[in-house]
């Protein structure tokens, strides 16, 4: 197994693991805002730049997608790498100056502001990390959003900047957005979920027991398609809201405990 020396700490990693993987094993913090283990590496935020020594030469590389194929020396505190990361963070702060998530990472890096002018209000907040686009395409397979425009006009949008017909309102894009730009807004008057800022709206289903709004029928169908078991009880639970599912789970637990002769409290503890 390759051995990575990072800030004087040696760790063994699997062949093909990344520098970011090694850093986490060594408990060395490297900022990264476009990394998720469940999707392909983006390397787009550029916050994870580190210095490596290879064949006697020093290089600056992105830690999140640099594959380790042999013993490697890595420096996070390298002067040039640190300067590059700080510059990148200042550029990101210019795009998303009001994001508390981004400011938290910036403060940990010792950065309190940016020397660059902030972008226009219409382009503000998105740092173009690409996580939302990747999760929509790779994990959800909806491809409801993508990149549009070039240069300073580049942004994430739905096709033709119109509400997407392929959006199922799963909320995955909002869940992975590192700066909180994407939000799921619920409209009680119409019973719809809106994915903002893309303006895509989808009607939500109702709980079969209490009538509360749950997920969209498309999300429920996609979830059911991923479950191989033919279990009527699962299908019934899938039509309930989280509160009603927990209620039924507690009732089932009590029933199993009574049939086994074990105290219900013992089952809860386990």
Query: What pLDDT, on the 0 to 100 scale, is given for residue 167?
Result: 96
Q: Is residue 235 part of a domain?
A: yes
3-state SS class at 172: helix
Query: What pLDDT, on the 0 to 100 scale, is given for residue 236?
Result: 76
Query: What pLDDT, on the 0 to 100 scale, is given for residue 123?
Result: 57
Query: What pLDDT, on the 0 to 100 scale, is given for residue 269?
Result: 45
Same domain, 101 and 171: no
Query: Rounded to the nearest 10 degrees, what angle do helices 100-108 and 79-95 cross at?
Result: 160
Domain boundary among 203, 238, 261: 203
The model's pTM is: 0.80
CA distance 106 to 34: 15
Q: Is residue 120 part of a domain?
A: no
Query: What pLDDT, on the 0 to 100 scale, is given for residue 40?
Result: 86
Q: Is residue 209 part of a domain?
A: no
Query: What pLDDT, on the 0 to 100 scale, is given for residue 266?
Result: 46
CA distance 248 to 162: 41
Same domain, 15 and 97: yes
Same domain, 164 and 218: no
Same domain, 79 and 138: no
Query: What pLDDT, on the 0 to 100 scale, is given for residue 229?
Result: 61
Domain boundary among 203, 226, 247: 203
What is the domain extent for residue 156? Answer: 130-203
C-alpha angle 210/215/221, rounded to 5°?
Answer: 115
Q: Is residue 123 part of a domain?
A: no
The whole-number mean pLDDT for each consecutive block of 10 residues of the chain, a chain of 270 residues, reads 94 95 97 89 92 89 94 96 97 91 96 87 78 95 94 88 94 94 93 94 92 88 73 74 84 70 49
Query: What pLDDT, on the 0 to 100 scale, is given for residue 252?
Result: 72
């Amino acid at each position: 197994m390759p051995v990575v020396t990072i800030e004087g700490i040696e760790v063994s990693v699997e062949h093909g693991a990344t520098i970011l993987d090694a850093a986490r094993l060594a408990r060395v913090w490297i900022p990264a805002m476009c990394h998720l283990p469940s999707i392909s590496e983006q390397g787009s935020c550029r916050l994870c730049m580190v210095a490596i020594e290879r064949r006697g030469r020093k290089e600056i590389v992105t830690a999140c997608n640099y594959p380790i194929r042999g013993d490697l020396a890595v420096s996070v505190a390298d002067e040039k790498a640190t300067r590059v990361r700080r510059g990148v963070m200042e550029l990101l702060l210019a795009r998303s100056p009001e994001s508390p998530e981004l400011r938290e990472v910036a403060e940990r890096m010792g950065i309190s502001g940016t020397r660059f002018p902030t972008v226009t209000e219409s382009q503000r907040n998105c740092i173009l990390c690409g996580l939302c686009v990747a999760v929509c395409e790779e994990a959800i397979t909806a491809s409801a959003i993508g990149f549009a425009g070039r240069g300073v006009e580049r942004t994430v949008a739905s096709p033709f900047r119109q509400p997407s017909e392929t959006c199922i309102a799963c909320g995955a894009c909002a869940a992975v957005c590192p700066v909180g730009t994407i939000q799921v807004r619920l409209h009680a008057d119409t019973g719809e979920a809106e994915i903002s800022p893309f303006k895509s709206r989808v009607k939500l289903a109702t709980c079969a027991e209490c009538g509360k709004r749950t997920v969209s029928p498309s999300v429920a169908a996609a979830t059911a398609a991923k479950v191989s078991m033919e279990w009527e009880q699962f299908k019934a639970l899938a039509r309930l809201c989280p509160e009603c599912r927990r209620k039924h789970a507690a009732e089932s637990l009590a029933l199993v405990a009574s049939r086994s002769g074990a105290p219900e409290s013992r089952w809860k503890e386990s």
